[in-house]
Structure 1
Amino acid sequence: MSECPVCNGFREAYLLCSNCGEPMMESGRLMDFYDDYSPYMEIDLMKMEDGYPDTNSGQKCPHVYRCPVCNQEDIFFIKE
């Protein structure tokens, strides 16, 4: 089983906004936004349901990043 370095606090991803070029802020795993109970569900189970083929093999973890300047939101896949 692989672990996401961003989820576990091992590393931060420094990403720039594709709209304005400002640094983006990490807002959490994409799966945590599905419903009220998503953050408490088994991670591997949620990866099977997220609709992205690369995540259910345990190689990438989708995270939501938001730009504090222009409010652009993007999903970035963090390599596990």
Structure 2
Amino acid sequence: MSSTTSERLIYLRQKYGDLLTIDEVADVLRYKTVAAVRKAHSRKTLPVALYRFKGRAGYFARAEEVAKSIENMDLS
């Protein structure tokens, strides 16, 4: 993990914790709407995996995967 990814991960964890809601994913990855995130997820074009947890409503993304995704976007 690069230092840039580490810095992003620290920031994301401080702001959101280890898991981001789909609303937070939309905000961090700059999607216009939550519906756009859902559409990208269903088309398998969302750059991070979304997870469901028993006893919790909705989808979540891991902060580590979001940080890595942002790092990969910077390298492009």
| TM-score normalized with structure 1 length | 0.29
Bigger helix share: 2
Structure with greater proportional strand content: 1
Structure number with larger C-alpha Rg: 1
